[in-house]
Structure 1
Amino acid sequence: MRAVQIIRFGGPEVLDVVDLPDPNPADGEVLYEVSSSGVNFADTHQTENSYLAPQELPLVPGAEFVGTPAGGGQRVVGLLAGGGYAQRVAANPRLTWPVPDGVTDEQALAVVLQGATAWHLLRTSTHLSPGESVVVIAGAGGVGTLAIQLAKHWGAGRVIATASSPEKRALAESLGADATVDPALAEDDPKTFTAALREANGGQRVDVVLEMTGGNVFDGAFSALAPFGRLAAYGTAGRVPPKPVNPQSLMGTSRAVIGFWLAHCMTRPQMMDEAMTDLLPLVADGTVRPVSGGRYPLTAVREAHQDLLARRTTGKLVLDPAR
């Protein structure tokens, strides 16, 4: 089978398309023919070995797929520990979910990892209540575009999204964001970013922040929190970690910082079931509209990673293993 393999760590240049043997399913696993593979920002961290979990070489990246069991059967969307950038994968059926008719591969891939992340950030980590204000950092990204829609669907009082270009800010607003802010305001001084978020919220501090950039964006968003506000940190896309949070700054303002990594939900499959059994019907009936960021041939995997790192994309990126 054709697959993308990494034998050295680095940037997109280390992603090589090679021929590999089909995976050998372990006990309880099933071999699937892959029709589409999902691409995530976390994959770029895997390539660099800067991910939360240390990586071992050689490796085939990719944590999600849409496919059918070898020999035929129901189309499913599934999660993997790795190996998704390939024509075939071995997966545990406990981490797969039937794809409803009318839901495309791209839509299903958008919700299995990024959608489930948005779902748990709002439901499990920050416990969003109706009427609360929500800031979605990177509102034009895969998680962000879905978090905006879910927050509005669940009754958020005001949704504020950050995005780095007028086109991306317009997309966020078309999905339901009440206001948008340019995250570049945080580059020189996080206080400027804090002021912009408060202005976007009618001069008030905000209740919930979903943060995946780090650095000054984290610091500025944290300072914008209201008493009892919650910031959920789920990435460091800016490759710059935030400064340590002083416990006194939490106690003195009754604010909370919560970390989130979907891998922990994968070890508790019922948590994934909760999200997926909610999300897939919402996509099927049109309540939630995943944004497609482009379908790339497997042979163009380097281009997909380059576009992702350069912030040239919006929504969900997908690889086509047949091309």
Structure 2
Amino acid sequence: MRAIQQTEFGGPEVLQLVDVPTPEPADGEVLIKVTTAGLNFADTHAREDSYLAKQTLPLIPGSEVVGVREDTGQRVVALCGTGGYAEYATAPESLTFPVADGVDDATALAMVIQGLTAWHLHATCARVRPGESVVVVSGAGGTGSLAIQLGRAFGAGRVIATASTPEKRELCLELGADAAVDAHPEGLGERLVEANLGERVDVVLEMAGGKVFEECLTALAPFGRMVAYGIASREQNELRTGALMRRSHAVVGFWLNHTLDRPAMVDEALHGLFEKVRSGELKPLRGASYPLEEARQAQIDLGGRRTTGKVVLRVAD
């Protein structure tokens, strides 16, 4: 089968199109003939072996796929961990879900890693209360665009997005944000307070790290919650307990992997997400679509913040 594989860690150049044997499912796994694979920012970390989970070589990237189960012929979306950038992938049966008629591949993929993340950022980590203000960092991205739309469903009173270009900020407003500000770190905290009508904000959903993280903390109100779910800048932050106490701040980390062995957390959230898609309340933002052989360029564009919404690889055109 055709697959994108890397035999060393490094930049996008390590991603190579190769022919490899079709994987064999282990006990409790299913084999899926892949039609579309999802791309996530975490894939760029995995390529460098700089993510939370250590990677092993050789590596076929890709943690989510849509395709057809070889044993039943059912169309499914699955969380496969690794191996998604390929014509066939294996996935735990417990993390393989039917895709309803009328739901396209990109929408189904948007609901798993990014949809589940956006859901749990609001519901599990920030525990947004009615009327609270919520900042969504990188609101035009795959997770951010869903987090903006889910804000109202979880009771947010005012949703503020950050984005790097005027076009992306306009998109955030179209998605339902009440305000959208320049994402540049310098002066970001002041812009967030201004966008919240002069008041500090209650919740920040943050995935950049570094200076952006620090600036967002300055904008956080007493009893405010910062949820960190990414380090796109590759710049880690350190916290001092005294600083947290002085403002009664909470900083919460989130990694979706910790929900995957808790079926209720996945099943309930996915059910809610697909219900909102069917009702039209949630409209996943489709991003760029690349053929499998252009996985290298897809990661370059994703890492360079040149994409919006859900980015996918077409495996079976």
TM-score category, normalised to shorter length:
over 0.9
Per-residue Cα deviation, 1:19-62 (whole angstroms, up to 9, x for no partner): 11111110111111111100000000011111111111111110
Deviation at 1:72, TM superposition (A): 4.6
Tell whether the 8 Å contact from 1:99 to 1:280 is kept in structure 2 after alignment.
no
1:123-169, Cα deviation, whole Å (9 max, x unpaired): 00010111100000000001000000001222210000000001100
TM-score normalised by length of structure 2: 0.98
Partner residue, 2:150: 150
Normalising by structure 1, what TM-score? Answer: 0.96
CA contact 1:35–1:67 (8 Å) conserved in 2: yes
Aligned pairs for 1:28-43 within 5 A: 28-43=28-43
Q: Is the 8 A contact 2:38 2:313 kept in 1?
A: yes
Amino acid at match of 2:23: P
CA drift of 1:284 comes to 2.0
Checking the alignment, whether the CA contact within 8 Å between 1:97 and 1:276 is kept in structure 2 is no
Tell me how far 1:74 sits from its aligned partner. 2.1
Structure 1 stretch displaced more, 91-100 or 165-174: 91-100
SS across alignment from 1:199: helix
Cα deviation code 1:81-109 (max 9, x no counterpart): 21111111111121012112211100010
Aligned partner of 1:202 in structure 2 is 197
In the other structure, the counterpart of 2:223 is 228
1:313 aligns with 2:292: no
**Alignment partner of 1:239 is 2:258:** no
Query: Which of the numbers 277, 297, 302 marks the counterpart of 1:283?
Result: 277
Instruction: Give the unaligned 5+ runs of structure 2.
Output: none
The Cα offsets for residues 178-208 of structure 1, whole Å up to 9 and x where unpaired, read as 0011111x14xxxx21111000000000000
For structure 1, the residue ranges without an aligned partner over 5 or more in a row are: none
1:273 corresponding residue in structure 2: 267
CA offset at residue 322 of structure 1? 2.2
Separation in structure 1 between the aligned mates of residue 115 and residue 29 of structure 2, nearest angstrom:
24
Q: Distance in 2 between matches of 1:4 and 1:288?
A: 32
Q: Is the 8 A contact 1:209 1:230 kept in 2?
A: yes
- Partners of 2:20 and 2:160 lie apart in 1 by 45
State the one-letter code of the partner of 2:305.
R
Distance in 1 of aligned mates of 2:52 and 2:146:
23
CA-atom RMSD in angstroms: 1.0
- Alpha-carbon deviation of 1:174? 0.2
Deviation digits for residues 226-245 of structure 1 (CA, Å, limit 9, x no counterpart): 11100000011011122x11
- 274-283 vs 140-149, which moves further: 274-283
Counterpart of 2:295, as a letter, is V
Which residue of 2 is the match for residue 104 of structure 1?
Answer: 104
Which position in structure 1 is the counterpart of 2:78?
A: 78
In structure 1, C-alpha distance between the alignment counterparts of 2:276 and 2:316, rounded to whole Å:
29
| 2:256 alignment partner in structure 1 | 262
What is the CA–CA distance in structure 1 between the aligned matches of 2:290 and 2:71, rounded to whole Å? Answer: 26
The amino acid of 2:26's aligned partner reads A
Matches within 5 A, 1:127-138: 127-138=127-138
Partner of 2:58: 58
- Output the CA distance in 2 between the equivalents of 1:124 and 1:310: 30
- CA displacement 1:61-86 (0-9 Å, x = unmatched): 10001111115522111101211111
- Residue 8 of structure 2 contacts residue 57 of structure 2 at CA under 8 Å; is this kept in 1? yes
User: Which stretches of structure 1, 4 residues or more, deviate above 6 A after TM superposition?
Assistant: none
In structure 1, what is the Cα distance between the partners aligned to 2:243 and 2:271? 38
Contact in 1 for aligned 2:122/2:154 (Cα 8 Å):
no
Q: Does 1:88 align with 2:88?
A: yes
